[in-house]
């Protein structure tokens, strides 16, 4: 699964979703919101995922 505005990784039962727009302090827009929804759908389908970590790249989590 390829994303433009987020990073999505699964390792050892932990899904990590990273907001990846540090130049605008990871501000939400329609595109990143859509990608977040897709990542959450992927988590829901993956029986191996037990924990989800939501984080932001750069200085800010989200603005």
Specify if 40 maps to a domain: yes
Specify if 28 maps to a domain: yes
Would you state the structure tokens that stand for residue 36, as one six-digit string?
Answer: 């977040």
Would you state the structure tokens that stand for residue 37, as one six-digit string?
Answer: 């929804």
| Whole-number pLDDT of residue 41 | 98
State how far Cα 23 lies from the chain centre.
16
Is 55 in a helix, a strand, or coil? strand
Specify if 38 maps to a domain: yes
Identify the residue whose tokens are 């984080």: 55
pLDDT tens, position by position, 25-51? 999 999 999 999 999 999 999 999 999
The structural domain count of the chain equals 1
Specify if 63 maps to a domain: no
Specify if 29 maps to a domain: yes
Q: What is the pTM of this model?
A: 0.93
Specify if 17 maps to a domain: no
| Residue 33: domain span | 24-52
């Amino acid at each position: 699964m390829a994303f433009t505005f987020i990073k999505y990784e699964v390792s050892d039962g932990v899904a990590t979703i990273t907001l990846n727009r540090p130049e605008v302090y990871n501000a939400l827009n329609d595109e990143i919101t859509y990608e977040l929804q897709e990542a959450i759908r992927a988590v829901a389908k993956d029986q191996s995922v037990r924990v989800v970590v939501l984080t932001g790249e750069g200085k800010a989590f989200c603005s």
